[in-house]
Amino acid sequence: MDTIIQTYQLKKTFKEVEIIKPLDFSLRKGEICALIGKNGAGKSTFFKMLAGQLMPTEGDIHFFGKSGKEMTQSRKRMGFMIETPEFFPDFTATQNLEYFRIQRGVVEKKRIYEVLQIVDLANQQKKRFKDYSMGMKQRLGIALCLLSSPDCLVLDEPINGLDAKGIIEIRKLLLKLNQEKQITILVSSHILTELQLLATRFVFIKNGVIVDDLSKEDLDEKSKKQIQLKVDDTAKAAQLLGRAYNDIQFKILPNHIITIQNHVEAGGEINRLLIDNGVLVMEFRMEALNLEEYFLELVEGNEK
């Protein structure tokens, strides 16, 4: 599969604090990849390095397999929306896009109407920017990215602050760009469920480190089940679980309940392990895992 973005040990330090720890990341053609992390995880810093707005402290970025000067050239095939662009409040959508088109000097004038149609703003093009809803403003930002007909879009929190309608509109637009225009997309959010219906891949970032990288299928699988146990001695059960599976993820809840988020397929084995070692298992059941909880555990859970 073609690789659009590849980073090698990409690192960013601010005042001796490593905001992005050496990071290897690849984005493959056709993906809609969600970068998920809470505020301050390093998403914008990572995107700004990709966009050339911040110099990496160390490491390398390749676009379309090109490095160095050729990479800088290849960056032109990408569209970045890192912060909401500084549109003129009193200009209409067309006037704003015309301003940027001339400034960048890249495309024919008719492209403005094309991109407004793609983002479904063609019938609102005479409205002034300040009268647009948040969702319309974001779509105009995406229209600006599309002016140069990029092969890949990198969008930092495009649905942050939008209402449900706005979120659905952006989701529909990004799916259309991916499926009909074959545009590869890297998009960030601090809320997993916002991107759950959109992305084909989910990369979780915490303190500048990628802590998980899941396909949609993996995520659906993970979201399906967790084990819930009611035992007489949670401390002993926790000790036995930790010894038997060194990467086990579990939580101890009130009322003698333990929930286990991974090794779900080994449910029978876990049950036997506890019973054989003298823990009384009063209840054992598989239950659906709340995705939001999984995400919070992953990006906010205790440091290992």
Ligand X SMILES: Nc1ncnc2c1ncn2[C@@H]1O[C@H](COP(=O)(O)OP(=O)(O)OP(=O)(O)O)[C@@H](O)[C@H]1O
> Which residues contact ligand X by CB under 6 A?
14, 19, 37, 39-45, 157, 190
Identity of the residue, 39 or 123, whose beta carbon is nearer to ligand X in the bound complex: 39
Separation between Cα atoms, residue 283 and residue 231, nearest integer Å: 7
Identity of the residue, 14 or 88, whose beta carbon is nearer to ligand X in the bound complex: 14
CB of 42 to ligand X, least distance (A): 4
CB of 17 to ligand X, least distance (A): 7
CB of 90 to ligand X, least distance (A): 28
> What tokens were used for 236?
């002993």
Identity of the residue, 12 or 201, whose beta carbon is nearer to ligand X in the bound complex: 12
Put the strands of the sheet holding 184-189 in their side by side order.
78-81, 152-155, 184-189, 32-36, 201-206, 209-215
Taking the alpha carbons at both ends of the chain, their separation in whole angstroms is: 34
Nearest CA to 80 out of 44, 105, 55 is that of 44
CB of 12 to ligand X, least distance (A): 8
CB of 114 to ligand X, least distance (A): 31
Q: How many residues in the chain?
A: 304
Identity of the residue, 14 or 99, whose beta carbon is nearer to ligand X in the bound complex: 14
Separation between Cα atoms, residue 176 and residue 156, nearest integer Å: 18
Identity of the residue, 194 or 273, whose beta carbon is nearer to ligand X in the bound complex: 194
